[in-house]
Amino acid sequence: MLKQVAFATTIALAMAAAAEAKVTITCLTTAGHLTRQHEPLMQRFNEMQEDVEVVYAAPAKDYSDVHLKLFRASATNTLPDCAFEAFNQLPSLARALDARGQIADLGELIAKEDKGWVEANYTDKMLDLGRVDRKQYGMPFNASVIQWYYNADLVKQAGGDPDKLPASWEGLIELARKIEALGPDIAGMSYAVDQWGDDWPFQVLILQQGGRMLNDAGDTIAFDQNDHHVNAMKLARSLVEAGVYDPNVNQSDQFGQFTEGRMGMYASSPAGARNTQERVGGEFDLRSSIFTVWNDEAGLLPSGGNAAIITTQDPEKIAAAWKYIKFLTGPEGQEFAAKITGYLPTNTGARAPERLGGYYDANPYYATPSNQYDRAGPWAGYPGTQSEKIWRDQKSVIRAVMLGEKTPEDGAAELVSIAEKLMKR
């Protein structure tokens, strides 16, 4: 009897010790990303090891809400242990948290990994998406460059090549015009830069020319160099003048038009590939294609998405969060994320034949992000705290240009004035 009691006591003590050894970390992400990606990945990670348990805080509404929540939590010293911050908002957050000692330098953690680990998993260009002031604050988790979704049936009916969209904007607009002519209820295309929730598609219009949004220091605008801002506004206006894009139809209805088979081409993130396919449901030949750029040699596309950051100061939790982030941004985590959403895999190992390589060969609709890997450029963020207001004001100007209420030249000048004024706050 005494032996049984002693044995039971030993087991209880061992279980208690094991429970104490497990480190629990709390992470923050957006509502849509939580249900679609993070919950299944969290479950997989928690099941595959016993040292770390990951839980998620109540999710934020969107990227902007994540940003605000983190700033507020910083002020009250109630930050989560890790979070997923949008690339364009990372600079202002990282600088503020670093000044308060509230964000980990992941470069120090990377330096402790085995030799060759970085080269086997990440390109320097991809890692650069998580750097601020040359310091690695984030590991890219989701990355996306804009792409075309298109109705191959309508393209064929309009006399286009359903296997390949035109490589130039001029050819694309001409094809959209022919699609528009197929019927009174058919729309040519959607490029809703005037309605987007952030400036991602506007930055597309600048970077695709070989331009950039800010200088190297990130404190002065550069999107007005070589008239890139004027060219961008001229292109936006030309879509309306050509009759291929209707700014009076809201963005949600434009998506409905496309998925119902009443629009030729739709520009959006690869993150929506799965949802778009589900909405179409085989009603027409849905395909995707790399995006159009003006400057084939120097043109880039801003990388939307987010980076995983560590915002705890506890050494044990930092180690635990790093273990989780390595899984999320590793080959297995990125294979899963790419398949369930359509995002560009941020890990080179995830593109191996036994992972996404074979999958992309069998599913070319999902391969487009990988085909634009070399086009991935920075999604710039303005200094200061007024990024959202800058875009709200700029978006109104862009819409006025598209509607013909302002000239492209006047609108471009206003975009500069808005940014220069507000980024100082």
217 falls in which pLDDT band (50, 70, 90)?
A: confident
pLDDT band (50, 70, 90) for residue 328: very high
Where along the chain do the CATH 3.40.190.10 domains lie? 2-144+303-377, 147-301+382-422
Question: CA quadruple 374, 90, 120, 38: dihedral positive or negative?
Answer: negative
Least confident of 18-32, 156-170, 181-195, 295-309: 18-32
pLDDT band at 17, cuts 50/70/90?
Answer: very low
pLDDT > 90 fraction of the chain, expressed in percent and rounded:
87
The one-letter amino acid at 311:
T
| Pair 202, 223: CB distance under 8 Å | no
Question: What are 52's strand-pairing partners?
Answer: 23
Give the chain's length.
Answer: 425
Q: What is the pTM of this model?
A: 0.86
Closest CA to 423 of 213, 236, 233, 229: 213
**How far is it, in rounded angstroms, from Cα 209 to Cα 118?**
31
CA distances from 376 to 144, 206, 235, 305 (A): 8, 13, 21, 11
Calculate mean pLDDT across residues 245-258.
Answer: 97
pLDDT of residue 153: 98
Contacts of 78 (CB under 8 A, 6+ apart): none
8-12, 100-104, 214-218: which range is least confident on average? Answer: 8-12
Tell me the average pLDDT across 198-203.
95
pLDDT tens string 135-186: 999 999 999 999 999 999 999 999 999 999 999 999 999 999 999 999 999 9
The dihedrals phi and psi of 193, each to the nearest 5 degrees, come to: -60, -30
- Name residue 158's amino acid: A
pLDDT of residue 43: 97
Contacts of 61 (CB under 8 A, 6+ apart): 30, 31
Q: Examine the pLDDT at 8 and tell me if it is beyond 80.
A: no
Cβ atoms 252, 414 nearer than 8 A: no
Mean pLDDT across the chain: 93
DSSP H/E element including 26 = strand 23-28
pLDDT above 50 (res 47) = yes
Query: Which class is 2-144+303-377 in CATH?
Result: alpha beta
For residue 11, the model assigns a pLDDT of 35
Distance, CA of 92 to chain centre: 17
DSSP category for residue 366: G
Q: What is the mean pLDDT of residues 77-94?
A: 95
What's the number of CA atoms in the CB half-sphere (13 Å) around residue 297? 0
Q: What is the pLDDT of residues 342-371, one digit of tens each?
A: 899 999 999 999 999 999 999 999 999 989
Tell me which of 3.40.50.10470, 3.40.50.720, 3.40.190.10, 3.30.70.3000 is the CATH number of domain 147-301+382-422.
3.40.190.10
pLDDT band of residue 20 (cuts 50, 70, 90) is low
